Copies of this chain bind each other. A is one copy, B any other.
Amino acid sequence: MAKEITSRAENYSQWYNDIVKKAGLADNSAVRGCMVIKPYGYAIWENMKDQLDRMFKDTGHVNAYFPLFIPKSFLSKEAQHVEGFAKECAVVTHHRLMNDPAGHGVIVDPAAKLEEELIVRPTSETIIWHTYKDWIQSYRDLPLLINQWANVVRWEMRTRPFLRTAEFLWQEGHTAHATAAEAMAEARLIHDVYAEFAEQYMAMPVIKGYKSENERFAGADETFTIEALMQDGKALQAGTSHFLGQNFAKAFDVTFLNDKNESDYVWATSWGVSTRLVGGLIMTHSDDDGLVLPPRLAPIQVVIVPIPKPEPELLEKAEQIAGLLKSMGIRVKIDMDETKRPGFKFAEYEMKGIPVRLGLGKRDLEQNVIEVARRDTKEKMSVSLDRIDSFVQSLLSDIQASLLQKAKDFRTEYTTEVENYDQFKEVIEDKGGFVSCHWDGTTETELKIKEDTKATLRCIPVDAVEEQGKCIYSGKPSNKRVIFAKAY
């Protein structure tokens, strides 16, 4: 089975598609650009969702649900928002089908045309701020710390499973505050939550930074981002948190009375991560044998395979071990399939990225040991059955830590400081990865670099060191380094 996937060296893009397909994560659908998320892929997303939801709730947020549809006129209320956004979107124009009088199935009933077209939400700032107008009168109604888990649609021309699809699943937080400082603190708090989730759960190191004016979300005064590095040297924007200032409050006329009884516009943030994270997870850790998953997000953390097949004696022991592991909160599967050979099963579990495989043979059992194989390094160990529970528990922690460290090492190797434009172009072209360099702060320079090299300004790191330097493109002075890369 593992043989069936293309290697990264041969064709990285095909390798990615092969993993998505062979590990059973997603399928194409009958609708252009929309994918079907298969049960195994969805289980990964569920684990992400559950953990993020806990983190949002622990920081005081609640969930709600706003309509799928947005009246067309709403989109043009915030000038920058409509300019930078939402032109490519699904437009609902009618609300009824009818039988084709000619007898060929159904047709759209021309009599059922909507007075105003509805847009399938590409993001929900507009409909939410229209709603917040009714919910906010005074500072006592603030802050509103609301998140929603939802599907959104952006009519993308070139799509790839998880990374860019016409419909995707995400969460979008939309908060309302009495002061700019509080809204900014909220945007930063979520930025921290996203970075912690990426590193501690996905084992995917990220650079925390903010976007240049040119790369900001349409309607934001500041966009914070977490940027990850994929194995092909391209960057992936993995989550963004926006300080929206009073832009949407002004567009939808949302004012409040502050504690001095003065009227002011409300301050806002919005923030989101999506099923794109599943794509990032795949590309951060997987190898030429298939998916590699960090234990904290793996739907199955440990699989027990009776060898050569599930006979009663082996099954009994397997169930005993599984019971022990489950009592420690570990997600375990016992392979009960009698029709496949161990070699085939091993390849399949490697393809699916199950972090730990326990092979239980009769001779092992006699010797009171079990074979433990870890997916990430392919190491195999013979471990005493007496301490298998504590061994597996600490092995799962090791794998989690080791995947993060490996990804960090890769990022270190593929982060290059350059001092001039020739070096810049050479690194972007040949080596790839993050390029750390001085930039003069202008959109003009940023766009020229992009035009020349296809590299975009990923972010200005929040922890960038103050240092004097010269813009690699214009030679103008700069006081900190920024990160450029080719990106998904």
Contacts and interface: CB of A to CB of B under 8 A. Distances in A.
A163 interface: no
- Residue from A35, A76, A119 having most chain B Cβ neighbours under 10 A: A76
A34 B67 contact: yes
Contact of A30 (B29, B120, B127): B127
Contact of A72 (B37, B69, B106, B120): B106
Given A34-B67, A37-B66, A39-B63, 13 more contacts: A27-B134, A31-B67, A31-B70, A31-B127, A39-B146, A73-B105, A75-B97, A86-B97, A87-B106, A88-B95, A91-B92, A91-B94, A96-B155
A480 to B, nearest CB: 37
A52 interface: no
A37 B65 contact: yes
Interface in A154-193: 155, 167, 169
A12 interface: no
A102 interface: no
Contacts of A97: 72, 75, 86-87, 89, 91, 119
B63 A31 contact: no
A464 interface: no
Contacts of A140: 339
A375 B96 CA distance: 45
Interface of A: 27, 29-31, 34-39, 42-43, 45-46, 62-76, 82, 86-98, 105-106, 108-109, 117-120, 127, 130-131, 134, 140, 146, 150-151, 153, 155, 167, 169, 339
Nearest to A70: B31
Nearest to A39: B62
A88 B94 contact: no
A151 B134 CA distance: 24
Nearest to A65: B37
Nearest to A66: B36
